[in-house]
Amino acid sequence: MEITKYYTKENTLLVGFPSNGLVGTFSISYFIHHLKMKQIGEIEIPDLPPTLFVEEGEILSPIRAYNRNNLFVIISDVPFNYNSVEEFVLAIHEFCKKNAIKKIMIVSGMEQVNQNKNDCKIFGLITHPTLENILYDNKIPKFLNGSIFGTDAAIISIFRKTNIPALVLYAECHPFFPDPEASINAIIMVAKILDVEIDTQDIKNKIDKLRIQYRNLMEETIRTSQQQESKTRMPQIYR
């Protein structure tokens, strides 16, 4: 991959975790692999059940941190329940302070069951007006109305009270199935913001395989989301 510039002049953190359509999981994983980012640490959450993943013989923690130049990544391969989400968000905040992060970007999915695959939209939500120019320059419409809960809401709640601005990108997607097409749209938008060259043909070639491979994670994510919903008891617009 050819990188057109140093991603960003400021230390920027990308965050991805299982949510609607597994958009965050797919898109952030893409940048880790295709930018050849180096793992720099792991995040342990005591309330999560003991879990490890094996990838090409390498043992991986479910929550990992990566870095290349001014770009940092935190990715989780497990969804967070009502008890563990706060610990995850506080860990992100601590990571930002230790690594002088100046802004964070969260990639997630927005429920849209009957969306046109050729016209999936991406909406943006910002915690600080300093990020208005990112929305304007990239023609990203604002997420204007709705309810947010779970991991997204927890991150937004913390960072809107800090001096570290956060941008959440919501890609329209199917909420109940892995949605690689929506993830490709998210990847393209993040790459545009970071000004990097990308090639998503590899994902396009493996779309059917990815849906099958991540089916169990999607089911676990839905169960966790339903548990969060029952505890918040809020009218559901975004899930």
Radius of gyration from C-alpha coordinates of the chain: 16
Residue 17 counted as domain residue: yes
Using 50, 70 and 90 to split pLDDT, how confident is the model at 183? confident
CA neighbor of 11 nearest in space, from 98, 91, 137, 133: 98
CB-based contact 110:150 (threshold 8 Å): no
pTM of the model: 0.81
Residue 237 counted as domain residue: no
Euclidean distance between CA atoms 237 and 195, whole angstroms: 32
As to burial, measured by CB atoms within 10 angstroms (0-12 exposed, 13-18 middle, 19+ buried), residue 54 is exposed
Q: Domain range spanning residue 33?
A: 12-232
Residue 125 counted as domain residue: yes
Number of domains in the chain: 1
Instruction: Give per-residue pLDDT as tens, 156-166.
Output: 999 999 999 99
Residue 83 counted as domain residue: yes
Using 50, 70 and 90 to split pLDDT, how confident is the model at 223? low
Could you tell me the CATH number of the domain that includes residue 49? 3.40.50.10900
Residue 26 counted as domain residue: yes
Residue 29 counted as domain residue: yes
Residue 38 counted as domain residue: yes
pLDDT given at position 74:
96
Residue 22 counted as domain residue: yes
pLDDT given at position 212:
53
Euclidean distance between CA atoms 21 and 143, whole angstroms: 18
pLDDT for 218 beyond 70: no
Contacts of residue 230, defined as CB under 8 A and 6 or more positions apart, other chains included, come to none
Instruction: Give per-residue pLDDT as tens, 8-62.
Output: 578 999 999 988 888 998 889 889 988 999 999 998 888 776 676 666 677 778 8
